Amino acid sequence: MSTDSSINDSAIGSSTTKKILILPGDGIGPEIVTEAVKVLETVNDKFALGLVFEEGLLGGCAIDATGVPFPDKTLAQAKAADAILLGAVGGPKWDQIDRSIRPERGLLAIRSELELFGNLRPATLYPQLAAASSLKPEVVSGLDILIVRELTGGIYFGSPRGIDETDSGERRGYNTYVYTESEIRRVGHLAFESARKRGGKVCSVDKANVLEVTMLWREVMTELGKDYPDVELSHMYVDNAAMQLVRAPKQFDVIVTGNMFGDILSDQASMLTGSIGMLPSASLAINGKGLYEPCHGSAPDIAGQGLANPLATILSAAMMLRYSLDMSEPADTIEAGVGAVLDQGLRTADIVSDGMRQVGTREMGSAVLSTLR
Ligand code: IPM
Ligand code: MG
């Protein structure tokens, strides 16, 4: 991983300074990111990590300040950073805006510009939260799935795309679902390598009975599988995968799939764990640089009320330490801290159940902090 020598360092004398770009974003983003940054600052001191922080604009807040969702300055900051922590982007305030500059476009653009092709979305059930899942405890207890979603290709980015008019004057919308062999291969490698460190199984999800692009996906995954004889590869159509995820989710270890199927299946898998408010994610480039964000969105309905669950963002910060910065000890410490506050019976509104104590965003963040001190 590169350390940009032009970076100023407030961590004086540290040759291992790591620059972290913080993008709070919109909605609940600033509230949850505030708690995660406190956690990072605390482990930074405790373990002398040499992290330096800088803030930037992405999404609706960037539109308000500069007119575009992903300003050039943010791109430059992102390129100079070793890792990026993002809250969430978007909200009703920007829903009517021209679609080319919607907040979500900023998120897609940063993923694309930094080539963050590999999106890791774990769906892990904390035993303390088994009751929060909408599925029976026996179906989900011990659940530990990793969804590897391709993030910079597929129908999200294919062209042509647009809304125009047919010759008869009828409106017509279209997108293009396209993958090259190399795009499939690199996310496939990530999935197989991840499986090696976990349960040793990869399930590749496609719609190869209908879509040519995913026929190729299946062929390439099958070829790649030959390089990983120690990993068990299976294939599943996406409709069946959606059904299996709620029928018998524990059959899965690593699921690898394209951008749009991964978007949908990862939301679905998140609910198996009780709350999307618990799930972190990593979006990785080939050089190890990564953008880390909670799987949930900006939740405008509860923004500014101090109700949001900061744990997914705090866990995203832990993933950042582990995957982009090779700092597994502080990452373990943060994750253990999250387990400890759940053991204490603290719950934000999204995961509260009988007998537990409901707390707000700040109190939850502070509770994690006190496990670190
Ligand atoms: C996600 C989100 C984004 C996506 C949106 C906000 C563009 O749903 O990260 O899953 O579709 O990728
Ligand atoms: Mg999504």
C-beta separation of 369 from 357 below 8 A: no
- State the DSSP code for 292: E
- Residue whose entry in the numeric block shows the structure tokens 């803030």: 55
Mean pLDDT across 71-79: 98
**Residue identifier of the C-alpha nearest atom 12 of ligand 1:** 263
| Ligand 1 center to 263 CA (angstroms) | 6
Q: Quote the distance between the C-alpha of residue 119 and its chain's center.
A: 6
pTM: 0.92
Give the per-residue pLDDT at 130: 85
Q: Which of 84, 86, 94, 104 to mutate to test the pocket of ligand 1 (most atoms within 8 A of CB)?
A: 104
Residue 116 or 7, more confident: 116
Each residue's pLDDT tens digit, 4-41: 444 444 444 445 899 999 999 999 999 999 999 999 99
- pLDDT exceeds 90 at position 310: yes
- Residue 281 CA: nearest ligand 1 atom is 9
Give the separation between CA 105 and CA 82, rounded to whole angstroms.
23
Each residue's pLDDT tens digit, 78-96: 999 999 999 999 999 999 9
- CB of 260 sitting under 6 A from ligand 1: no
- Residue 88 CA: nearest ligand 1 atom is 6
Mean pLDDT across 208-218: 98
SS3 7: coil
| Ligand 2 center to 90 CA (angstroms) | 12
> Which ligand has the shortest distance to the CA of 281?
1
**Residue identifier of the C-alpha nearest atom 6 of ligand 1:** 104
Q: Which of 94, 102, 107 to mutate to test the pocket of ligand 1 (most atoms within 8 A of CB)?
A: 107
Give the separation between CA 363 and CA 346, rounded to whole angstroms.
9
| Ligand 2 center to 7 CA (angstroms) | 33
Which domains are assigned to the chain?
Answer: 1-120+278-373 (3.40.718.10), 134-273 (3.40.718.10)
Mean pLDDT across 318-341: 97
- Residue 263 CA: nearest ligand 1 atom is 10
Q: What is the DSSP string of 184-240?
A: HHHHHHHHHHHHHTTTSEEEEEE-TTT-HHHHHHHHHHHHHHTT-TTSEEEEEEHHH
- Indicate the burial class of 250 (C-beta count within 10 angstroms; 0-12, 13-18, 19 or more): middle
Give the separation between CA 272 and CA 138, rounded to whole angstroms.
12
> Which ligand has the shortest distance to the CA of 109?
1
C-beta separation of 294 from 32 below 8 A: yes
Where are the extended beta strands (E) located within 64-169? Answer: 83-88, 118-124, 144-150, 158-165
C-beta separation of 282 from 75 below 8 A: no
**Residue identifier of the C-alpha nearest atom 8 of ligand 1:** 263
Structure tokens at 94: 């920007």
Give the separation between CA 314 and CA 227, rounded to whole angstroms.
36
Greatest CA separation for the chain: 69
Residue type, 318: A
